[in-house]
Structure 1
Amino acid sequence: MRAATRIAVVGAGLGGLTLAGLLQRRGFDVSVHEQATGFARIGAGIILSANAVKVLRRLGLEPGIVATGIRPDSFLSRDIATGETLYELTLDAASERRFGGPFVNIHRADLHALLQSALRPGTIRFGEGLAGLEERDDHLRLIFADGGTAEADIVVGADGIHSRLRALLQGEAPPRFTGRLAMRAVFPPGRIPGPPIRDCTKWWADDRHVLVYFMTGRRDEVYVMTAVPADSWEGDDTSVPGTRAGFLAGFEDAHPDLRRVLEAAETVMVWPICDRPRDDRWHAGRAVLLGDACHAVRPYMAAGGASAIEDAGVLARCLAEFDDHGTAFARYAATRIPRVAEVQRISIENSWMRGPTELDWFFGHDVCTAPLA
């Protein structure tokens, strides 16, 4: 495809910014349209496995990611009630050679800032929430909620589970509540009594789990996320303040090593865990989707962000290697859908690394060099 092709990316999340950076390095004219009026330090931790880091390496971001986040010593799985070790993946120089890259925990806002640094100034246009899309003879016209417009040869929807582009292409449909609530707390480790905690531990029970990890190499910020059953959720799926009592209520019989971590929490946020049924309609005409816009997953495999980053790596390759957008989109979808479908299946099952697990197909994969379907 011609480098002069104008590509508009809707949404400045991890996948959208990764795609914009990769395409700019291939000479494309890229703009990113973000509905927010600016970025704030919101959200909390994200786990970047080696397969995601290998894509971000192409943007020159690996040193910054490693310096800003933390390389945990292992990923440890323990039983919530007994404390028994169910599985441990040691993360060291040998594992980095095996998988081709490091495993990094990082604050989402820090990763977001690094991705922005890889873009040309002025790439991101704030306050431009997509409201409509008009097809012209050889391009698309984007219409924004504030009345502004833009034109592009290709439009990429990287605007999350509530993707407006997805709704315009496929019709309105609300996300699916999965019957689980997520509760999040972030606090300094000095609040936890007793010996130091491990770098990254997932605690398992049959119907709930807790993920506890550090987000920086200084180990000065602990991120705790629980997933617990819930019959229903009223309202939208944005986070709302929770209570410490509610945070602790689901884990009254937890092992003391977990209980002392949970009791250190003060401020708690709660939100419903939602996804969407699998839908392989990833593109139409000159528009294409990536990330949660086309394959929203439950956050039980820590693979949602990595999958969006992988999407960006494959879509950038396809747009650069094929002469027409139809072929590029078809090759992108054919390459990504089988892999993402397996991630969706495992995420629904919530079994990833609960016990001995085949890991190389996921962590060891490099979408920037693997053959395209």
Structure 2
Amino acid sequence: MAPARVGVIGAGVSGPAMAMFLQQKGYAPVLYERLDAPSDAGLGIGIQNNGQAVLRRIPGLLEHIAGYEADEFHFYSVMPEDTALLGVSDHPRRLRAATGLGTMGVRRPALHARLVEFAQRLGVPVKFGHKLEGLEDKGDSVEVAFANGVKETFDFVVGCDGLHSNTRACLFGETPADYTGLSQWGGLSPTPEFWKGKRAPADIFDNGSHMILVPMSDDEMVWAISQREPEAKEDWRSIDQETADEFKKNSRFSEWPFGIGELVKSSIKIIRYGIYDRPELETWFKGRVILIGDAAHPTSPHLGQGANQAYEDVGLLIDLLEKHNPSAEAPSSETLTTVFSELVQVRLPRTAELVRQARKQGEMRVVSGVDACIKRNNFYREMCADPAKLKERFGI
């Protein structure tokens, strides 16, 4: 019999990986993206060891992504009352030495493009300009309708279309995203002299704000500053030049020590966006359609686990399909229910806890008042002195 046809919706962080795994296991996936090309929005992504563990199961993929490996994590305070290096952790270096996998940074637009390119190299059809508009479960198949008038029929569908998932809306209706109360200014900058050679993502703490910066190469870094502001739409695209110039010249961040002021002033791209998550779903599937990644469990970015949890979803889904449908032929409704139910049973509790931890981390980092800030700073001092506390920081 012919291999099962699978519609994969979304060619962002997780969709191409899902399609590649399906292709590798004998299925016939088709990858759909509502944009006309891989997205150029966003700044950077940290692919941690748990995400890399999944991606390396596709031979050559990690090498093709070509991320920039981190050696350490650094923690600084820039508040006048406690300006200091709070600590250094060599967790990434030790983890890579022990497992071959650590933490690597990659520009988000580059990651999208490289994933799509590798999927096409493996023979996955990729169709841009296809915005999902409707799903109709036919019992033994799913009819998918796109805004451009195209209709396709698949044996099952995997929704990988992110926070603003049309697949999720088709299955469970529109549910508003929850603004966490934090927004971010983010940028792409040449690496300041202070940071050259360090290969170290860093947390920077102030009174009422927090910055994370991540090296993307020897010569380029991305950064994001979290603070409490009125709601700002999350579109991950550049702000107008006048607003960017004002931020670079006159914001207090341009005066921060440890090379950070230089980082802000020299930015070649600045974006602003709100940080959102969504109410927890009771299940991620209905009939022959399942959600994974941010479509199922969107999270704020404070643990750096959004993409990595999506890859964990992908890895387990493909393992369960191989277990319950090793022929890769069109699965029965009963088989899909078993596969999807087992996935949700394992993954929903883990992702729900990480969503809670991520929001908690955001609340902990962005505190106001000198006493509260010094208490926060001391937590990171103690954490760096006690590697056992790293789990509380990273949640993995």
Q: Same fold (TM over 0.5)?
A: yes
> How much does 1:284 deviate?
0.9
Read off the aligned partner of 2:160 and give its amino acid letter.
Answer: A
Aligned 8 A contact 2:144 2:151 in 1: yes
The answer to whether the aligner puts 1:80 opposite 2:78 as a matched pair is yes
Partners in 2 of 1:169 and 1:298 — Cα distance?
A: 23
Aligned 8 A contact 2:14 2:293 in 1: yes
User: Paired residue for 2:263?
Assistant: 261
For normalisation by structure 2, the TM-score amounts to 0.82
| Unmatched tracts of structure 1, length 5 or more | 366-373
User: Paired residue for 2:328?
Assistant: none
User: Paired residue for 2:104?
Assistant: 104
The answer to whether the aligner puts 1:344 opposite 2:336 as a matched pair is no
2:174 corresponds, among 146, 161, 172, to 172
User: Paired residue for 1:15?
Assistant: 14
The answer to whether the aligner puts 1:326 opposite 2:330 as a matched pair is no
Partners in 2 of 1:55 and 1:8 — Cα distance?
A: 21
Partners in 2 of 1:78 and 1:335 — Cα distance?
A: 37
Partners in 1 of 2:320 and 2:345 — Cα distance?
A: 11
1:232–1:70 distance in 2 versus 1, CA, 3 Å: closer
Partners in 2 of 1:5 and 1:95 — Cα distance?
A: 38
* Structure number with higher helix proportion: 2
For normalisation by structure 1, the TM-score amounts to 0.86
Partners in 2 of 1:19 and 1:360 — Cα distance?
A: 28
> How much does 1:237 deviate?
4.2
User: Paired residue for 2:35?
Assistant: 36
Read off the aligned partner of 1:301 and give its amino acid letter.
Answer: L
1:361–1:151 distance in 2 versus 1, CA, 3 Å: farther
Read off the aligned partner of 2:203 and give its amino acid letter.
Answer: K
Aligned 8 A contact 1:99 1:360 in 2: no
SS class of match (1:31): strand
Report the RMSD for the aligned CA atoms in angstroms.
2.7
Aligned 8 A contact 1:54 1:100 in 2: no
User: Paired residue for 2:158?
Assistant: 156
Read off the aligned partner of 1:274 and give its amino acid letter.
Answer: Y
Partners in 2 of 1:315 and 1:10 — Cα distance?
A: 15
Q: CA deviation digits over 1:207-236, x for unaligned, max 9?
A: 4211122212xx121212111210333x66
Partners in 1 of 2:303 and 2:128 — Cα distance?
A: 31
Partners in 1 of 2:29 and 2:395 — Cα distance?
A: 30
Q: CA deviation digits over 1:128-171, x for unaligned, max 9?
A: 11101112131010000011011111111111111111011111
User: Paired residue for 1:291?
Assistant: 293
SS class of match (1:155): strand
Structure 1 residue runs of 4 or more that deviate by more than 6 Å after TM superposition: 360-365
- Map residues 303-318 of structure 1 onto 2, 5 A cutoff: 303-318=305-320
User: Paired residue for 2:3?
Assistant: 4
Partners in 2 of 1:343 and 1:222 — Cα distance?
A: 26
Aligned 8 A contact 2:134 2:170 in 1: yes
Q: CA deviation digits over 1:311-332, x for unaligned, max 9?
A: 1111111122124000000111
Partners in 1 of 2:167 and 2:339 — Cα distance?
A: 19
Identity over the aligned pairs, expressed in percent?
27
Read off the aligned partner of 2:211 and give its amino acid letter.
Answer: V
